[in-house]
Structure 1
Amino acid sequence: MEPKPAAASFAPANHNTAAALLRVEGGVVVPPEPVSHGFLAEFDEEVEFARLYSQAERYIKPDDLIRLEQAFRLALRAHTGQFRISGEPYVSHPLAVAEILAQWHLDAQALIAGLLHDVMEDSDVTKADIAAQFGKTAAELVDGVSKLDRIEFKTYQEAQAENYRKMFLAMARDVRVILIKLADRLHNMRTLDAVRPDKRRRIARETLEIFAPIANRLGLNTLFRELQELSFKNTYPMRFRVLGKALREVRGDRREMVTRLMNTMRERLPSWGVDAEVYGREKHLFGIYRKMVEKHLSFEQVLDIYGFRILVKDTSGCYLALGALHELFKPVPGKFKDYIALPKANGYQSLHTTVIGPQGMPVEVQIRTQEMHAVAESGVASHWLYKDDTAQSLSDLQRKTHNWLQSLLELQSTSGDSSEFLEHVKIDLFPGDVFVFTPKGKILNLPRGATAVDFAYAVHTDVGNRCVACRINGELRPLRTELKNGDQVDITVAQHAHPNPAWLSYVRTGKARAEIRHFLKTVQQEEATQLGERLLSQALRQVGTSLPDIGASAWDRFLRELSVRSRDDIYTDIGLGKRLAAMVARRLSDLQHERNTASGEEPNTKPRPMVPILIQGGEGMAVQMARCCRPIPGDPIVGMLRKGQGLEVHINDCPMLTRNHSSDRERWVDVEWEESTERMFDVGIRVLVDHRRGVLARVAAAIADMEANIQNVNMENEHSPSSIIHFTIQVRNRLHLARVMRSVRRLTDVVRIVRERNYDKPLNKR
């Protein structure tokens, strides 16, 4: 296609960068109105492209402008006859997306991808076609943004989770993918009025949960705020209208006060030698609404609906301005934050303080340099807006963004499925501002509520997997301790330690949660494979054969029937209770019998003696001691295969076993204890005692004298003549437990002692 001559044929349009999207009205900075392209009768594709072209030609090379128009022509053809719900030609959407990207000064490849981001879904244009005409990079960007509509999923949630997974991984390779997706979502949110209400609310919630936090994480503050406002408007339209009306009514009453405050600051700052620009800004409706909800306030009680921003030339000017401000107004204790010395994870830098203004009104003030302001408003997009590679703030931001994107690849490698991956990413999309120190003085930024375990995984995966203790500010503290700003954390590791499943209940970072789950799944799978092989061997003996007797041909045919890759997968499924060993054994035996018959061999049909599974108690996650009866060596036991959880060992007369699993007897497994076991087993005892001074200490001493560990103690009715003490202790076997109980029974304070099971009736008092 012959391109049009460059530049002259297109009318220029006003150019706005992402750092200059706010306008000042009456001394107050007002957010921009969303751009509307009008409806079908008013829309002119050529005029809209001319506006995009005039923005792009300010910074894009002439050759790239030619390719940009070619991309526009391709999008126009691909979307011919397609219309949005509003009635506009569909091509208006990719044009609007590309225009937003041009405001961020993204390169030609990104603008081309913005124009073509829907053509693979909505037409017969392929990734190869895009690569042939516009290059591999543009094709990869379009593919990264495209959804997976051609793949069938069981649920909408599963499809969305997979879409997000693909988008995040493409974003980890090239951050422009998410910038295009954010521009796409921004325009969709701006034009959401035409969508039916239920879908509008779903899209708005999705935007608030995923896309707004991503914009925040990448430092795109202006975009973050607009997405929040639009999400609030479409999720709670009535609340949005009522709150907006209330804000407009109070705006006139407080405008004079805001103007007076700005003038006071402008007069005082020069006396401190600070050359500064002072702006007033009205807080966004969503921020006011969230404060009302979180603090249970009425609108009248929210006083700080206005804030101020002071822009200075350099970092030293920030601190001088802060001193001038605190001399002028009294600061609110605990409301000062120094994000210059300790930047946020998204590169944001600023000084935040809250002071008491006229009539006792709290006023929030942000102080930053012009460069910090550019990064605060445009975030990672400032890499394209401002090409000064020597600026330390920008290089730090790019490094931090790169580190976060690389962490997404790590999460993908350790997450089991798309839903789990999305869960981990969501955790990391809500960063807090807890700054802690390593013993060498390195600063780590963690979410609020993060624990010592989160810190260990932030240092290194191996440190997290092997941590056993921690020192916080030089004192030994539990691993579940929540960290506070300024804490110095030192992790103690042990070579043979491994993650505890209980950690999942209190870790806060996606990395820690993903690594713990990955380790536990890997260990459980290995243990389940070993257990499954033992269970299948036992089941084969019951049908008169053995595992070595099953030939490779029988195994190959069996695996093909089930579409399973390997024998280990069969063993794992048996060990986790997903397949019954008896059924697998019968089918393998039949296949081997057919093979022997075909080759003229005499089958061995003589049943072999059944050998029970031997339980050591230390098999790991694939073999669990039932919590209802807590079996210990010496107890007669039986195994129950629980689907997805492995083998659960019960005492053979456990009522929970017969009550809940009487119809699943094919899942029962013959098990016996190993002759010698190394580990200690938890068991519960209840002791009825006369309530006297020191009785608990005497009972505990009697237990300890028998070399039993006390895991937990709980006492009932301490103020009555007699009390019940519940102990969880660790013993080696039934003989060891008997010795412990005899030692306790000899005490004169003890009335009765019994072994406790979770299904037992309460112990009666005298």
Structure 2
Amino acid sequence: MDLSGSRIVAPPVAPATGALPAAKSRAPRRGKHGADTPEAPPAAATFANAPDERQVVSLASLTRLAEAYLPEEDVRRVREAYRVADRAHLGQFRTSGEPYISHPIAVAEICAGWKLDTDSLMAALLHDVLEDCDVSKQQLLERFGPQVADLVDGLTKLDRVQLSSKEEQQAESFRKMLLAMARDVRVILIKLADRLHNMRTLGAVDAAKRRRIARETFDIYAPIANRLGLRKLYLELLDLAFSHRYPMRSAVLRRAMLSARGNRREVLGRILDAAQKALPEIGVKADVYGREKALWGIYEKMVQRRLSFSQVLDVYGFRVIVDTVPQCYLALGALHAAFKPVPGRFKDYIAIPKVNGYQSLHTTLVGPFGTPVEFQIRTREMQRVAESGVAAHWLYKAEQETFTDLQKRTHQWLQSLLDIQSHTGDSLEFMEHVKVDLFPDAVYVFTPKGQIRSLPRGATVIDFAYSVHTDIGDQAVAARVNQEPVQLRTELHNGDVVEVLTDAASRPNPGWLAFVRTGKARAQIRHFLRTMKLTESVELGRRLLEQALASLRIDLDDLDPALFERGARDAGARSLEELYADIGLGKRLAPVAARNIALLMSGKAAATLIMPDLDPIFVNGTEGSAIQYAACCHPLPGDAVVGHLRGGHGLTLHRADCQAAGRQRTKDAERWVEVQWSDDVSGLFRSGLDLFVSDDRGVLGKVAAEIAAAEANIVHISMDEEAEKTVHLRFVVQVRDRVHLALLMRNLRKLPEVTRLQRG
């Protein structure tokens, strides 16, 4: 249904009476994206065909659509919303020269095509009055009720908010829209209708703006439409965005499609005839029709696989529509009997639907002359859901226990948006997480109890754990996939049965951020680390500053609080807590901060204040992420250690004899501090072990058993073949201290298979 060209001139509508103010004369506004930019009417001398502002766009088409499924009283309310919108936009014109009210009417018509409810149609008509007109949310609330006011407010962009950059402004606008969608899915349905009409009429704006809006459609709106199952809308948005972002490529490809259509007509006709004969023979009544692959889909395949257009064989396909699910499988059998199937090209999305609710059987068959052709087989209900997605259901009205499978999956995703929002720092980070979840590809895995969970392709065990529950993700320590032990970073595949083992004392690992795939997992891990790291870093920073001040014979507890606060501000921190955190994270040096505070107290010049040696920092193993233990040397309690203050990473401990630390210390000596182990160190610490063993059967099991008998944990194992009948085993183990490691090494040396052993 293309609404962009339909405009009928009708007599003016009398202004409605009520609380909303009459339209005021206004300067040209440019607050909207795309073709919706409202402007003052152009002068006759410069735009001879400019419409008279007394002309209005007809409501007849929208009325016919609404009357087909809404009662008369609701249609009357829609007309009232139209009158208010028409009066609010009086004097505004689109870039194309049409009265601006033509855009809200077109958006409402698209929504009526989806059979959205009365409040949705009213919100569609009013969706720009808060942004571009002198109308407030309170006035909408009083006139049309809270539902319509909330929908319009959720659709309103934040152009009046002053943010640091255009990217942040755009991200904040999307964040508000998506969170409003999480509360009421009608917000995004109206927004998608708004974007569709903009894309249909985008030719009126300049080329740079067309490209920008097309890119935005590719990145956000089309993926959201696909995620909600609006397949028809998704494909139209992609093709429109393709034609505006790459106009020359789109035109060339379109011409190639027209040419190919003629060349392949005979082949496709023979396949269609064969299918139409084969299905009635087994008693299946079906509608069979051909379809063309979308231009963007063809172009994307050509780019990703480096193919020419002539090498893309599945440009055309067929769709088979039947009445029942059993008939889908009967039709599949008939088609496989008529044509040879291509191995590995069958997908059953009926048994396991896609994450957006899409259901269909896909099979690729070899037609005449060796041409591969894809068939999609589905019921009429599946076809309706494939076209309308979540718009085919009343998600916002239904009680959760009566949700369909599609509604439940959509509801879970919408709720995950609220989870992501609560654990992200800003709008840009929020959009980064959400974009990850908008990719259409998915894998389907099972819980041990047989429940299906859908995850983005490339998702790992940790993503699965967070999809089940936040606590399971936070406390994950091990996992089994298909009854086999695997690492937490293991990528999951369709059909995997995943079991996650947890430990209440475990916490998220910063290294997980390198491989997690879902926005929820990434947001939760970052939130946890940010919260815990801040607390731990503040405590470490206070200890570092206290020791630095003590070396200057200044007691932290005796400092004047006002002077201390001033010292923090002079150092560039907004508060004492921020100063402590920055010191603990290595962003500021405690000796420098201490000297600045001392200068404030003494008033002496910097050159006259000589820094004595600082007392060492004591480490007890409970500092958490504020202190890192270098992987190059694995320091243990009992080792002589030194500390390196790395910007943003806190304090990193090295063994005093570590060669890597020695090289680094010559470059930035001011960032190295003396460290000692406290008398009450607790916890387990990693250490490397290099073993050279004879290549005998069962030797790895003997070594592992000896490590376990010494009450040490194995974290990682790798091996290389060193020489003939000799194997180099590399272990990373967890021990209590240097004495515990020595005991373990002494026991390992007793094994006859061990020829050489050293600490890694």
**When the two structures are superposed, what TM-score results if normalisation uses the length of structure 2?**
0.80
Contact 2:16 2:84 in 1 (8 A): no
**1:42–1:340 CA distance, 2 compared to 1 (3 A):** farther
State whether structure 2 residue 49 is matched by structure 1 residue 41: yes
Counterpart residue identity of residue 228, structure 1: L
State whether structure 2 residue 279 is matched by structure 1 residue 269: yes
1:672 is matched with 676
Out of 607, 622, 625, which is 2:626 matched to?
622
State whether structure 2 residue 432 is matched by structure 1 residue 423: yes
1:450 is matched with 459
Q: Secondary structure at the match of 2:477?
A: strand
Quote the Cα distance in structure 2 between the aligned partners of 1:449 and 1:547: 51
1:245 is matched with 255
State whether structure 2 residue 380 is matched by structure 1 residue 370: yes
Contact 1:3 1:66 in 2 (8 A): no
**1:549–1:513 CA distance, 2 compared to 1 (3 A):** same
Contact 1:215 1:221 in 2 (8 A): yes
CA drift at 1:478: 2.7
Quote the Cα distance in structure 1 between the aligned partners of 2:372 and 2:239: 23
Contact 1:473 1:488 in 2 (8 A): yes
Quote the Cα distance in structure 2 between the aligned partners of 1:47 and 1:460: 52
Out of 538, 541, 560, which is 2:547 matched to?
538
1:112 is matched with 122
Q: Secondary structure at the match of 1:160?
A: helix
Q: Secondary structure at the match of 1:471?
A: strand
State whether structure 2 residue 347 is matched by structure 1 residue 337: yes
Out of 509, 512, 522, which is 2:521 matched to?
512
State whether structure 2 residue 405 is matched by structure 1 residue 396: yes
Quote the Cα distance in structure 1 between the aligned partners of 2:450 and 2:235: 35
Out of 478, 481, 493, which is 2:487 matched to?
478
Q: Secondary structure at the match of 1:332?
A: strand
CA drift at 1:583: 6.4
**1:401–1:752 CA distance, 2 compared to 1 (3 A):** closer
Contact 2:226 2:440 in 1 (8 A): no
Comparing 76-85 and 614-623, the one that deviates more: 76-85
Out of 67, 71, 75, which is 2:81 matched to?
71
1:19 is matched with none
Counterpart residue identity of residue 254, structure 2: G
Counterpart residue identity of residue 458, structure 2: G
Contact 2:15 2:83 in 1 (8 A): no
CA drift at 1:313: 1.6
Contact 1:306 1:363 in 2 (8 A): yes
Quote the Cα distance in structure 2 between the aligned partners of 1:51 and 1:551: 75
Counterpart residue identity of residue 519, structure 1: F
1:603 is matched with none
Quote the Cα distance in structure 2 between the aligned partners of 1:445 and 1:43: 52
CA drift at 1:191: 2.1
**1:40–1:283 CA distance, 2 compared to 1 (3 A):** farther
Comparing 669-678 and 334-343, the one that deviates more: 669-678
Quote the Cα distance in structure 2 between the aligned partners of 1:284 and 1:626: 53
1:490 is matched with 499
CA drift at 1:584: 5.9
State whether structure 2 residue 643 is matched by structure 1 residue 639: yes
Provide Cα deviations, 1:293-333, integer angstroms capped at 9, x if missing partner.
23332211222211111111222222222222222222222
Out of 189, 198, 212, which is 1:188 matched to?
198
1:11 is matched with none
**1:81–1:2 CA distance, 2 compared to 1 (3 A):** closer
Quote the Cα distance in structure 2 between the aligned partners of 1:144 and 1:588: 49
CA RMSD of aligned residues (A): 4.4
Contact 1:161 1:418 in 2 (8 A): yes
Counterpart residue identity of residue 464, structure 1: G
2:29 is matched with none
**1:40–1:318 CA distance, 2 compared to 1 (3 A):** farther
Quote the Cα distance in structure 1 between the aligned partners of 2:727 and 2:100: 77
CA drift at 1:467: 2.2
Quote the Cα distance in structure 1 between the aligned partners of 2:581 and 2:694: 54
1:52 is matched with 62
CA drift at 1:190: 1.7
Quote the Cα distance in structure 2 between the aligned partners of 1:40 and 1:401: 50
Q: Secondary structure at the match of 1:193?
A: helix
2:298 is matched with 288
Quote the Cα distance in structure 2 between the aligned partners of 1:737 and 1:487: 39
Comparing 702-711 and 524-533, the one that deviates more: 702-711
State whether structure 2 residue 576 is matched by structure 1 residue 576: no
Provide Cα deviations, 1:374-413, integer angstroms capped at 9, x if missing partner.
11101111126999x99x9983322221121111111111
CA drift at 1:633: 4.4
Counterpart residue identity of residue 98, structure 1: A
Contact 2:360 2:377 in 1 (8 A): yes
Residue correspondences, number: 708
Contact 2:694 2:754 in 1 (8 A): no
CA drift at 1:715: 6.1
CA drift at 1:559: 8.6
Q: Secondary structure at the match of 2:492?
A: coil
Contact 1:452 1:483 in 2 (8 A): yes
Provide Cα deviations, 1:627-677, integer angstroms capped at 9, x if missing partner.
566554455544343332222334568787787788977655443222454
CA drift at 1:429: 1.0
Counterpart residue identity of residue 146, structure 2: K
**1:496–1:48 CA distance, 2 compared to 1 (3 A):** same
Out of 510, 534, 538, which is 1:525 matched to?
534
State whether structure 2 residue 238 is matched by structure 1 residue 234: no
Which structure 1 segments of 5+ residues have no match? 6-33, 595-606, 757-766
Q: Secondary structure at the match of 1:335?
A: strand
CA drift at 1:419: 2.1
1:30 is matched with none
1:150 is matched with 160
Provide Cα deviations, 1:466-525, integer angstroms capped at 9, x if missing partner.
222222222223333322222222222223222233322322222222222222223222
Out of 173, 185, 205, which is 2:183 matched to?
173
**1:60–1:639 CA distance, 2 compared to 1 (3 A):** same
1:316 is matched with 326
Quote the Cα distance in structure 2 between the aligned partners of 1:509 and 1:243: 35
Q: Secondary structure at the match of 1:279?
A: strand
2:10 is matched with none
Contact 2:140 2:148 in 1 (8 A): yes
Contact 2:585 2:650 in 1 (8 A): yes
Quote the Cα distance in structure 2 between the aligned partners of 1:265 and 1:621: 64
Quote the Cα distance in structure 2 between the aligned partners of 1:482 and 1:725: 26
State whether structure 2 residue 467 is matched by structure 1 residue 463: no
CA drift at 1:729: 7.0
Comparing 205-214 and 256-265, the one that deviates more: 256-265
Contact 2:16 2:83 in 1 (8 A): no
Counterpart residue identity of residue 127, structure 2: H
State whether structure 2 residue 231 is matched by structure 1 residue 207: no
Quote the Cα distance in structure 1 between the aligned partners of 2:309 and 2:437: 31
Contact 1:213 1:429 in 2 (8 A): yes
CA drift at 1:710: 8.8
Quote the Cα distance in structure 2 between the aligned partners of 1:320 and 1:726: 57
Quote the Cα distance in structure 2 between the aligned partners of 1:260 and 1:665: 80
**1:588–1:265 CA distance, 2 compared to 1 (3 A):** same
Counterpart residue identity of residue 371, structure 2: M
Counterpart residue identity of residue 421, structure 1: F
Quote the Cα distance in structure 2 between the aligned partners of 1:381 and 1:578: 51
Provide Cα deviations, 1:42-80, integer angstroms capped at 9, x if missing partner.
868633433323322333344443443343344334434
Contact 1:551 1:592 in 2 (8 A): no
**1:176–1:562 CA distance, 2 compared to 1 (3 A):** farther
Comparing 613-622 and 583-592, the one that deviates more: 583-592
Quote the Cα distance in structure 1 between the aligned partners of 2:230 and 2:250: 23
